[in-house]
A = this chain, B = another copy of it.
Amino acid sequence: MSRNSIGKNIVLTSFGESHGPFIGAVLDGFPSGIKIDTHGLQLDLNRRKPGQNNITSPRAESDIVQIISGIFEDHSTGAPITFLIPNLDAKPQDYDGLKKTYRPGHADLLYQQKYGVRDHRGGGRSSARITAGWVAAGSLAKQFLRGNHSPKQHNQPIIITAWVNQIYTAVCDEFSEIPTFDQIEQSPVRCPNEKMSLKMIELIEAAKADGDSLGGKIRCAIENCPIGLGEPLFGKLQAVIGHYILSINAVKAISFGEGFNVANLKGSENNDEWILKNDKIGTKTNHSGGIIGGMATGEPIVFDVAFKPTSTIAKVQTTLDNDLKMINLEATGRHDPCVLPRAVPIVEAMTNLAIMDLLLEM
């Protein structure tokens, strides 16, 4: 119980169900006196909202966020900031059939077993719709990190960028550079590689037509982290980022730098030698993904995240019903054939919150 909050210095508390009147979040610990760009915040939410195009869920939600506390005359006051996002296109009746059915890959059955009761409407609390509040909170963290507000004379904006690196068989080559926001956003799937972006769209459309869904990978880069960010022992950068990212629906893996490939390497291949670059400390290579001993090396922090294919598919599956009888299921409700394009702003939001939490402690 009482695990709906995350963070130590800047605490996100999440609330709401997919088909209740509102979902939302409280963000506590945001410093006072920061000018808030509510328009920019809404733009971030728009990147996550459903119905953006024909490869996302058709649920029509404008996801207009209302900030009901903590901001006064466009500035943060130091009080908790509360976001309310109405559920306008809730169609709970669509889910009546699910009252008595446990969908494969979904947590319906586990909620029922754990709590003895559940809000079955559209996944209730387990719906990824909940993440809209996280994106709102993460957007404020982004504004903070980009605005040079960090302590200890670290006067460079910290920039966090995520993009889609793989969807099913469409796999990007490594980027030699971190893509720009525009390169990412011009792709409906948020993949900056134009050729692969087109292939991803094709794959998603084909999966959709076939009543199926696709998984993939998102890469995220953090630029300009101050050297030493991250707290030994249990506030290590990778552990804190891991906690935030592994909390996102459908995530099954996270890796930093070389990730699982370190298993194939020798120390002499994997070690990053310390050097000076324009009088600043850095490393010659960045196999470590910018993290050593749980702390930032000054190099870009790079990590990869695996998302499973959407569990809701139109194909017939066998499953159990409320009486634990075997039944056949054809999914109803609205959903995305591939979650990755809309997951990009969620990964960014959670990473911004994780980094801000650690930065406030430096």
Contacts and interface: CB of A to CB of B under 8 A. Distances in A.
Interface of A: 1-11, 13-17, 20-24, 26, 28-33, 66, 68-70, 72-73, 75-80, 82, 84, 102, 104-107, 109-111, 113-119, 124-126, 130, 166-169, 207, 212-217, 227-228, 231-236, 238-240, 242-244, 246-247, 249, 251-276, 281, 283, 288-289, 292-297, 304, 306-313, 315, 317-320, 324, 326, 360-362
A233 B17 CA distance: 12
Contact of A14 (B105, B233, B313): B233
A273 B234 contact: no
A268 B69 contact: no
B17 A119 contact: no
A255 B263 contact: no
Given A119-B77, A166-B263, A228-B110, A29 B2 contact: yes
A255 B252 contact: yes
A354 to B, nearest CB: 11
Given A115-B77, A125-B232, A231-B1, A214 B266 contact: yes
Chain A's interface: helix, strand, loop or mixed, by majority? Answer: mixed
A251 B293 CA distance: 10
Nearest to A23: B69
A207 to B, nearest CB: 7
B260 A292 contact: no
A141 to B, nearest CB: 13
B207 A266 contact: yes
Contacts of A361: 1, 3
Given A32-B115, A273-B317, A293 B106 contact: yes
B267 A212 contact: yes
B270 A69 contact: no
Most buried by B among A68, A166, A265, A293: A293
Contacts of A102: 274
